[in-house]
Amino acid sequence: MTGPAMATESRRQRKPAITITRTDHDRLSRLAESVPEANAAVADQLFRELDRARVVADDRIAADVVRMGSRLRFTSVVGEDRTVTLVFPGEADIAAGRISVLTPIGVALIGVSAGQSIDWIARDGRTHRLKVESVDDARTNARGEERAPT
């Protein structure tokens, strides 16, 4: 295999298996359906991720899987080391480390587990690679107390 077919296969191999809770899958599907035309490319990326995700019951997801509300640490091949929280668009605040799921990096992060790497394409068309180093369980707060469902 050579040329474009090989490049496509190479990209496909870089997509790790992802897992999403039923609640996140339902909410993210509705969100992607309601995205304005100006953000259609990100909505299409989100639909593709939702289509390939393994969907599990909310109480059956591993604690180290990125889901909505997860606080996670990732590193990039260029040496970036960041801790962020994956949130819905209305809660996003990049200065506070809250990344919207309706951004290219947010779409790439949903459903990825600690230890997995994934490529994502920025709005400027450049491909970036990141590795999820750790994930805090989104169901508990910093003190380990159960969070109220959102």
Structure tokens that stand for 128 in this block: 């970036």
Cα radius of gyration (the chain) = 15
- Residue 19, strand partner residues: 54
CA nearest neighbour of 60 among 22, 89, 93? 22
Residue 57 has φ and ψ, to the nearest 5°, of -60, 150
CA distances from 90 to 75, 87, 104 (A): 25, 8, 16
Continuous segment of H or E residues that includes residue 27: helix 22-33
Tens-digit pLDDT profile for the chain (150 aa)?
Answer: 444 444 444 444 468 999 999 999 999 999 999 988 778 888 999 999 999 999 999 999 999 999 999 999 999 888 899 999 999 999 999 999 999 999 999 999 999 999 999 998 887 888 889 999 999 975 544 434 444 443
What is the 8-class DSSP label of residue 146?
B
pLDDT, residue 36, reads 82
Residues contacting 91, CB < 8 A, separation 6+: 98, 100
pLDDT, residue 117, reads 93
